[in-house]
Amino acid sequence: MKTNNQGNDTLNKKIKRIGVLTGGGDCPGLNAVIRAIVKTAHHEYDIEIIGFEDGYEGLIEGRYRKIDLRDASGILAQGGTILGTSNRADPFRFPVLQNDGYVYLDRSSQGVLNYEKLGLDALIAIGGDGTMGASAGMIEKGLPIIGVPKTIDNDLVGTDVTFGFDSAVITATDAVDKIHTTAQSHHRVMFVEVMGRYAGWLALCSGLAGGGDIILLPEFSYDIEAICDQVRTRNAQGKNFSIVVVGEGAKPVGGEMVVQRTVKHSPDAIRLGGVSHAVAAQVEELTNIECRVTILGHLLRGGSPSAFDRVLATRLGVEAVRMAAKGESGKLVVLKNNRMDSIPIAEVAGKIRTVTPDDNLVRTAQSLGICLGFAQGESPEKYYDPVQTAPRQGQEDN
Ligand code: F6P
C-alpha cells in the first residue's frame, strides 16, 4: 500500500505506465490535456506516459512513443494535438486495405495485445462520442480506460461543457462581429454557418454573443416565411441589414439536413455543411434583399485554446491521471456544477446532448426577439425535431 504526496489516494497497486490517445476531430485544448497528464503523472505519481499516434489507429497498429516533460513543455497554448488524431479508427470496424479495396475487420483484440505488450496499467482516451463508443467496447474487452470529453460541438452527455467549445464560440463570435460591419455597409442579409453537427450549442452561443438576428439550430426545423418576416420587419424598422447564424445541421420544416459528403471508414460517415446557401437563396428570392454566405468550417477547430478551455482541459487531465492512479476504470471525467466528477463511459456511448426547447438559452434568445426559425410567440416544441443518438457505422462513399 502506498499513499501519494497529496495523502489522499491509497494505492493498492503501483501504477507505472499509462497510455494516452486523442481520437475524433481535433479541437483547441487537446495539448493542454496531454500536458496536464504528463506533468501530473511525473510530479504526483512518477508514472510514465506512452502516447499513441492518431487515436485508436496507433493502438491497433502499434504506433506509439514515450511522452516526457520535454514533449509536454510549451504546448499549453498550441491548437491541434501533438499525438495526431483520427476519426476513422473504430477498433471493432477497422478499415484495412486489401487487393480489391477496403474491408472492415474487428482489430480490437490486436489493440488489447499491444496494450499488454507495452505493460500499460491504464489508458486515457481523450475524445468525443465516437471515441467513447469505441472505448466502451474496449472496456468490455478488459482495458482499464479513463475518458476525457472534448469537442467544439459540446454535445457529450454527462458533462456541463466540453473543452474546445468555448474557443470555438470565441472564433465564431469574432467572425459574426466582423460580418456585422459589411452587413451594415451593404444593407445585406449575411449568413454565418457554423459547425456543431446535430447540436446547436455553437450556433446558439455564438449567435447570442455576436448579436445575431436569426439563429437556426439543428434541433428546430425552420420555416422560411418566419425568417423572411424577421428580415422584412427589421428593414421596416430601419435596420436594413440582418445577421443569420446557422448551425450546419439546420433543416426546413418537413425537410432534411444538407449532407456535404459522406466519409468512407468514419464511424459517423455524414458530413454536414452548406445549408445556409439554400436558405440564403430562398430569402433573397422572397425578400429581394441581397444575401451572402460565409461558412466557417474547420476554422472553428483551429487556433489557441481560450483561457477557459486551458483551465478546463488542465483540470480534466489532472483528474484523469488521479483516477487512473487510484485504479479506477470505465469512467469519463466530467465537469458538473464546476466540480470534477465522473460517470460510466457506457452511459455516454452512442448518445448526444442537444439543445432542448426548455433550455434557458432558447428562452433568452426568444426574449431578445431573436428568430429561431419560427415566428415569435410560436412554441419551440412545435418545431422541435432533434437527432438524439449519434449515428454509427461508415458508408462506402467518396
Ligand atoms: O465533431 C466536430 C466536427 O467539427 C463537427 O462540428 C463537424 O460536423 C465535423 O466534426 C467535421 O468533421 P471532419 O473534420 O471529418 O470534416
Judge whether residue 9 has pLDDT over 60: no
CA atoms within 13 A on the CB side of 17: 13
Among 80-89, 246-255, 321-330, 382-391, the minimum mean pLDDT is found in 382-391
Positions of CATH 3.40.50.460 in the chain: 165-302+354-383
CA of 25 to the centre of ligand 1 (A): 6
Of the candidate ranges 94-108, 134-148, 196-210, the one whose mean pLDDT is the lowest: 94-108
pLDDT of residue 101: 86
Mean pLDDT, residues 76-105? 92
Task: Please identify every residue annotated as catalytic.
Answer: 153
- pLDDT for 298-313, tens place per residue? 999 999 999 999 999 9
Residue 298 CA: nearest ligand 1 atom is 4
Residue nearest to atom 8 of ligand 1 (CA): 197
Identify the pLDDT of residue 264.
78
Measured in angstroms, how far is the CA atom of residue 102 from the centroid of ligand 1? Answer: 23
Say what the pLDDT of residue 88 is: 83
The pLDDT tens digits for 123-179 are 999 999 999 999 999 999 999 999 999 999 999 999 999 999 999 999 999 999 999
Lowest-confidence range among 4-18, 21-35, 51-65?
A: 4-18
* In the chain, beta strands by DSSP E: 2-3, 10-11, 17-22, 48-52, 64-67, 94-98, 101-105, 122-127, 145-149, 189-194, 214-216, 242-247, 259-262, 270-272, 291-295, 331-336, 339-344
Distance in angstroms (rounded) separating the CA atoms of residues 202 and 374: 19
Burial class (CB in 10 A: 0-12, 13-18, 19+), 253: middle
- Give the closest residue (by CA) to ligand 1 atom 14: 25
Q: Please state, in angstroms and rounded to a whole number, the distance separating the CA atoms of residues 111 and 116.
A: 9
- Cα-to-centroid distance, 345 and ligand 1 (Å): 21
User: Which atom of ligand 1 approaches the CA of 87 most closely?
Assistant: 15
- Beta partners for 154? none
394 pLDDT more than 80: no
pLDDT at residue 357, as a whole number: 98
Nearest CA to ligand 1 atom 11: 271
What percent of the chain is modeled with pLDDT above 70? 94
CA of 267 to the centre of ligand 1 (A): 12
CATH number of 165-302+354-383: 3.40.50.460
Q: How confident is the model at residue 392 (pLDDT cuts 50, 70, 90)?
A: low
> What pLDDT is attached to residue 391?
59
Mean of pLDDT values over 184-205: 98
Domain with CATH 3.40.50.450 in the chain: 8-163+305-347
Q: Ligand 1 pocket: which of 156, 260, 271 to mutate (most atoms <8 Å of CB)? A: 271
Q: What is the CB < 6 Å shell around ligand 1? A: 25, 87, 128, 151-153, 195-197, 248, 263, 271-272, 301
Predicted pLDDT of residue 263 = 84
Has residue 328 got a pLDDT over 90?
yes
CB atoms within 10 A of CB 147: 32
pLDDT of residue 12: 52
What's the gap in Å between 67 CA and the centre of ligand 1? 27
From 2-6, 116-120, 176-180, the region with the lowest mean pLDDT: 2-6
Q: Give pLDDT tens digits for 56-65.
A: 999 999 999 9
- Ligand 1 atom showing the smallest separation from residue 300 Cα: 4
pLDDT of 267 over the 80 cut: no
Mean pLDDT of 381-391: 86
Residue 4 has pLDDT above 70, yes or no: no
151, 154, 197: residue to mutate for ligand 1 pocket, most atoms within 8 A of CB: 197
Smallest CA separation from ligand 1 atom 16, residue: 271
CATH topology of domain 8-163+305-347: Rossmann fold (3.40.50)
Ligand 1 atom nearest to 301, measured from its CA: 4
Give the DSSP H or E segment for 185. Answer: helix 165-186
Which DSSP state fits 297?
G
- Asked if pLDDT for residue 114 goes beyond 50, the answer is yes
Average pLDDT over residues 182-211: 98
Q: Name, in order, each residue with C-beta under 8 angstroms of 17's C-beta and a sequence gap of 6 or more.
A: 47, 48, 49, 50, 118, 119, 120, 121
**What share of the chain in percent tops pLDDT 90?**
87
**Atom from ligand 1 closest to the CA of residue 202:** 6
pLDDT, mean over the chain: 93
* C-alpha of residue 394 to centroid of ligand 1, in Å: 15
**Arithmetic mean of pLDDT, 293-300:** 98
